Amino acid sequence: MEQSVTVFSSFSVQDLSFLGEAALRTLWISFLSITIGSVLGGFFGWALYEMKVWGAIFLNPILDVFRSVPLIVQLVLFYNFAPIVGLNLDAFESGLVVLTLYTSALVANVARGGIEAVGKPMRITSRSLGMSYLQDMRYVVFPIGARAIFPSWVGVALGVMKDSALVSVLGYVELVKASQVLITRTQEPLLIILVVGAFYFALSYPVSRYSAKLEKRWSQ
């Protein structure tokens, strides 16, 4: 009980707005990397599907690197690699590049699965109706495939949102980094950590529930 009294005395309104700003940074870097990474990943997925040999030889092993090396190692590696090739990137920019590529590698697999899910007979049907390759892609493969992969894509997006916490190792003050700073200053680890956890949970849980519901409805 005594502890909870001191909790509120040392944890001020400014601290809360500090956390709030950090939360916005988490959202911002997640939003950017998920959006760009998904577009890129969709393209990679299409390339893996259409160019089986080249995809298997070149693209897939490269994408595999992003799936087989811890994100934290990728971040440190790229952050220290950029200056070597003459790029001056700050923590946000480095984090954004790595998170985007990381997202695209995960989305690529999902997207390829989506195109495969549409199935040959359906595509032969649409082509036999006289649709061009692009029309088939635009009006048949995309709508059907997108629906098939939507739940997996949501999973990837939420994963990236949570993984964005790791950009803190580069010194980018997103939510987890901000909480560490505050913990050091206020010495109130439990309260701050619970606030941060609650933020992620409040963001992730409803989305994942909603997507699970959609998946159930669509599968019927």
Binding site for other proteins (CB under 8 A): 3, 64-65, 67-74, 76-77, 80-81, 83-86, 158, 162-163, 165-166, 168-169, 176, 179-180, 183, 188-190, 193-194, 196-197, 200-201, 204-205, 208
141 vs 165 by CB, closer to other proteins: 165
Contact indicator for 167, 91 with CB cutoff of 8 Å: yes
93 vs 215 by CB, closer to other proteins: 215
32 vs 159 by CB, closer to other proteins: 159
- Please tell me the distance from the alpha carbon of residue 42 to that of residue 26, in angstroms, as a whole number: 23
Measured from the CB of residue 123, what is the shortest distance to other proteins in angstroms? 27
Q: Taking CA 210 as the corner, what is the angle to CA 206 and CA 211, rounded to the nearest 5 degrees?
A: 120
Measured from the CB of residue 129, what is the shortest distance to other proteins in angstroms? 32
Spell out the alpha helix ranges (H) of 119-188.
Answer: 120-128, 133-135, 142-163, 175-186
Q: Taking CA 98 as the corner, what is the angle to CA 169 and CA 115, rounded to the nearest 5 degrees?
A: 140
6 vs 35 by CB, closer to other proteins: 6
